[in-house]
Amino acid sequence: MQQYSTTKKMLGAAEIIEMSGVGGLTQASELVGKKTAIAMLILQLRHNLGPGSTPNSSDDADSRILKVLDQEGLG
């Protein structure tokens, strides 16, 4: 039963992050913890950025993600 509860919380947090982005981080972190919520946010931001057109698109995406986290005081 614990596994089911954890899975529900993870899915709920993922949905919050997907719908609200950085704005939903506090609410998501209440469900799964701050580190997990930030990891989910990073994955969502990477997904949203998609494959870049620059040669170093992965590095570019990482720098943009870090910039967003810094702006929100999470970096």
**Measured distance CA(30)–CA(28) in Å, rounded:** 5
Among 5-9, 22-26, 45-49, the least confident range: 45-49
Q: Looking at residues 29-56, what average pLDDT do you find?
A: 78
Q: What's the confidence (pLDDT) of residue 60?
A: 67
**Measured distance CA(24)–CA(11) in Å, rounded:** 14
**Measured distance CA(33)–CA(3) in Å, rounded:** 16
Q: What's the confidence (pLDDT) of residue 44?
A: 84
The sign of the CA dihedral 39, 45, 47, 50 is negative
Q: What's the confidence (pLDDT) of residue 22?
A: 84
Q: Measured in whole angstroms, how far is the alpha carbon of residue 14 from the centre of its chain?
A: 8
Write out the residue range of the structural domain in which residue 40 sits. 2-71
Domain count, the chain: 1
Q: What's the confidence (pLDDT) of residue 56?
A: 54
